[in-house]
Amino acid sequence: MTSYKVGERVGRGGMAEVYLAHQVGMGGFEKLVVIKRLTDRLLSNPRYVTSFLREARVSAAMNHPNIVSTTDVGQDEQSPYLVMEYLAGESLAHMTKSLRRRGECLPLDHVHRIVGSVASALEYAHDLTFPDGTRSAVVHCDVTPSNIMCCYSGDVKLLDFGIARVMREEHTRDLEHLQGKMGYVAPERALGNRVSPRMDVFQLGVVLWEMLTMQHLFAGDNDVERLHAIVRQPIPAPSSIVRDVPADLEDVVMWCLRRNPDERCPSARTLAQHLRHCTSRPSTERDFALWMQATFSERRAWRSKLEQRARQSSSHVTLERTTGSVSAATARVAAPPPLLVLARGLMALALLLALLALAVSWSVRPMGSEAATAPPASDALLPVVHPIATPHVPSNVLDPEPAPQRPQLDPPPAAHPPEPRPATKAPEPTEPPPADPSPEQMPPSIELSDNLDPWAP
């Protein structure tokens, strides 16, 4: 019998909590794993329990080197839980915040490696074959820096399919169930349209834009402001903020960020192909591992201590599987209190009214219908959005977006490697950046399933 000795909580998001656990089995078998379970306040909501079990089913069907693997699902006396592989590394959200504090940028060759790995994971998910032999696109719907893990081994993993949608099961256009970090939601989803794989392409485009500029693309003091920025705010070219961004890479970024999905990069596979044409030498796994280990050496030392405590502590709570089907959890949950239902309904109504107002303003803008076949030429430089430190959206972002240019085919990559790109330096800080906290001051967070704002201070 396999048992899990659950240790410290190492992460918490809007829906779930994550614990580091020690898996033990016959013949001295032992392994560090991660246990994910719903927060206590959501256990009484059947919709969230059903969504949690759907995540287990979808995750178990995936086997890809750039997707975190789910090894087990169980039910104890408290709640259902997922068992996932433990990843020793840092989330992209933490990496970008840490580098910003130091006044540094992500090296361009590592940017290619990270985005290319995530694109490969999405390509696999968008054409997934389930155990019963059926095939369907699984749309992640939450491709954000918090859900991208960069490991000290050089691996890059996409995490958290908690709000993923299986296309064969998608029948509604439910604005009430709009989930994920609002600064990364695709515009057509914000307006209530059906889920499609191109939404993941848009989200990855936002992540790539932010990796190149080290700024937040769609800022706002609340979710409604962020959704408004996504639908209406002009999107500046990365080179208008940080110089030395290669033109071909900028074309790919702006292609992914087309608001009209018909004009956007059509698939994660196409995105991965064009990314390979934008660089002659992406970083190798070994190069990336050495950079991660050197750049985040203190965090790595702290994580080693955390792993050691997990293996040696005798204060674990042993998690044993109960008898019966895991799916029976949905039949045992209690209905939420009436006041809680009323509060949720009022919040959903407020969000619905705001989105309907955005939809009306969006409908007056003509949309092209010609499908994109290749990344377009660079857009004209647009006004620069406010940096993260000043998230208020200026009034001029309400101006209509310039009409997109007709996409042009990129020339094939040169037969010889291009000249090496000079290292991009971040703008000089106005005051000395604070030093990274010591391992003792660091919060015990692996950030495997963090649905909070990844750019919050």
20 within domain boundaries: yes
Whether residues 188 and 228 share a domain: the answer is yes
Q: Answer whether 381's CB lies under 8 Å from 240's CB.
A: yes
Say whether both 34 and 117 belong to one domain.
no
| 327 and 378 together in one domain | no
Shared domain for 7 and 82, answered yes or no, is yes
Residues 319 and 292 in one domain: no
Q: Enter the DSSP assignment of 214.
A: S
Q: Last residue of some domain: 374, 398, 422?
A: 398
CA distance to 150, 290, 298, per residue, from 294 (Å): 13, 6, 9
**Span 198-212, pLDDT tens digits:** 999 999 999 999 999
CATH code of residue 315? 3.30.200.20
Tell me how far CA of residue 114 lies from CA of 57, 68, 184, 242, 334, in angstroms: 26, 15, 17, 19, 42
Query: What Å distances lie between residue 384 and 235, 306, 445, CA to CA?
Result: 8, 42, 33
Q: What is the dihedral of CA 360, 219, 264, 400, to 10 degrees?
A: 50
Q: Which of 352, 156, 417, 369 is nearest to 258 (CA)?
A: 369
Residue that is written with structure tokens 């809007």 in the block: 14
The catalytic position among 76, 127, 142, 244 is 142
Question: What does pTM read for this prediction?
Answer: 0.72
In a shared domain, residues 245 and 370: yes
Q: What is the rounded distance in angstroms from the CA atom of residue 355 to the CA atom of residue 120? A: 32
Asked if residue 286 and residue 304 are part of one domain, the reply reads: no
Q: Which helix (H) or strand (E) holds 150?
A: strand 148-151
Together in a domain, 268 and 377: yes
Whether 142 is a known active-site residue: answer yes
Q: What is the pLDDT of residue 283?
A: 85
For the chain, the helix, strand and coil percentages under 3-state DSSP, each to the nearest 5: 40, 15, 45
In the structure, what pLDDT confidence band is assigned to residue 323 with cuts at 50, 70 and 90?
very low
Whole domain around residue 260: which residue ranges? 102-296+343-398
Kindly report, residue by residue over 120-178, the tens digit of the pLDDT: 999 999 999 888 888 899 999 999 999 999 999 999 999 988 888 888 765 444 444 55
Q: How far apart are CA 368 and CA 138, in angstroms?
A: 27
pLDDT digits (tens, 9 = 90+) for 368-414: 444 444 555 444 333 333 333 333 333 333 333 343 343 343 433 43
Residue 453 lies in a domain: no
Question: In this predicted model, what pLDDT tens digit does every residue of 413-451 receive, in sequence order?
Answer: 433 333 444 444 444 444 444 444 444 444 333 333 333
How many domains would you assign to the chain? Answer: 2
Q: Does residue 359 lie in a domain region?
A: yes
185 with 211, same domain? yes
- Residue 434 belongs to some domain of the structure: no
- The dihedral built from the CA positions of residue 210, 213, 215 and 219, taken in this order, carries a sign that is negative
